Amino acid sequence: MEFDEYTLYSIASVAIYTNMLALKFNTRRRRRVWSRKWHERRNMGMGILHMLNDELLQEDSAAYKNFLRLTNHQFEKLLRLVEPHISRQDTVMRQCVSARSRLELTLRFLATGESYRSLMYSSRIHESTISLFIPEVCEVIFNVLKDEFLMTPSTPESWQSIADQFMELWQFPQCVGALDGRHITFRPPKSAGSFYHNYKGDHSLVLLALADACCKFTYINIGVNGRISDGGVFRDCTLSKAIQNNSLNFPQSRPLPGSSNNVPYVIVADDAFPLSTRILKPYPQRGLSHDKKIFNYRLSRARRIIEHAFGILANRFRVLLNPICLSPNKVEKITLACVALHNYLCTNSGQFYTDFDEASIITLDTWKPQGTNRTSRSALSVRDEYKNYFCSPTGSVEWQDAAVLRHNC
């Protein structure tokens, strides 16, 4: 059988292509190295973070605290708590990353929000390893700190202690906390669609929190997607249910100073929350009388504690300031760790935040105020009792009239 030139050319082309495919699939790929040489030198103390951390510890304690957000004493105490849960065994193939290095790198990530790749070059630890242990360490930090530093008060005495602080520091009687929510933004997986899409066009989880008079968090709820309305987040959280069921063991109602009518202990909030006998919010801004403006000013003065708590949190742990490039589950672990560390630092530093520079506070994204809600007469009556108290000789403060005029409350 004879073949023309075109047929021979076609047969040859098919044969060459077949041989190339066979060569591709039969040739074993060269195995990648387990660990690059420059990674291994971290065990010789040659990582930039390791060397800088040691130098700061020895030469500049203030810079060390700024570097990790903890003093050396606070760091060592935290390390003792988390070490049993984050330590790993060396293998015949390589040395594991020590518990100390895991904690240092996690704290640095929370303090700066650096990418895993950036941390890889400064620590000589591969980014895939970093991506595995940072969420794990964050979860452990929250678990070891929450019972001591992030417990919601459960006795009338503990709530009364908070109320005494609000009265002493902010001249607001029978207040057991300031309530607000913030959006923690992140970059969602492609499959999420608009599930986490909030009213600003970002993707976020909602952090709902209650703070005492010294900017420590006494209750947090994180994980609700940002598209849920503010009222919906609060309505479905455990705090709202506990308030409705009277299961928080607030102190018994009693008259405000100089008054004879019993008033319940309250939480101060803004327009995003429904007014109730336990939740105080401002009077609507339209057509306010002078005494209502006084009330709004005094309420705002006490309520700003939660805003400053969020601001301090975000300034300390700047990972929260920009969208976090991780899954929602990991974002939740990171946020919980930041809140627990915030309370840990407030407790161990002995520092009370009672004087604020408004311009210096960086805040997280605020909530969108919701519409009006049906309000019971008893809730309106409680708010009026506070209004009357703040305008009485017993409850007024000397600067409130000037403040109302200055801020046009």
pLDDT tens-digit profile of 221-232? 998 888 887 667
Amino acid 34: pLDDT: 44
| Residue with more model confidence, 318 or 369 | 318
Angle at 133 between CA 127 and CA 139, to 5 degrees: 140
Report the alpha-carbon distance of residue 311 to residue 400 in Å, rounded: 25
Q: Where are the alpha helices (DSSP H) in 3-88?
A: 5-26, 37-40, 48-59, 61-68, 72-86
Amino acid 368: pLDDT: 54
- Assign 123 a pLDDT band (cuts: 50, 70, 90): confident
Amino acid 196: pLDDT: 83
- Assign 33 a pLDDT band (cuts: 50, 70, 90): very low
Distances (CA, A) of 257 to 166, 298, 386, 391, 393: 14, 16, 10, 12, 10
pLDDT tens-digit profile of 164-200? 999 999 999 999 999 999 999 998 877 766 778 787 8
Arithmetic mean of pLDDT, 280-302 = 94
Write down the mean pLDDT value for the chain.
85
* Residue carrying the six token digits 């969420």: 135
Please determine, for residue 96, whether its predicted confidence score (pLDDT) is greater than 50: yes
Angle at 290 between CA 288 and CA 292, to 5 degrees: 60
Q: Of all residues in the chain, what percent are helix, strand and coil, respectively (each to 5)?
A: 55, 10, 35
Amino acid 358: pLDDT: 42
Spatial neighbors of 230 by CB under 8 A, at least 6 apart, are 181, 272, 273, 367, 368, 369, 370
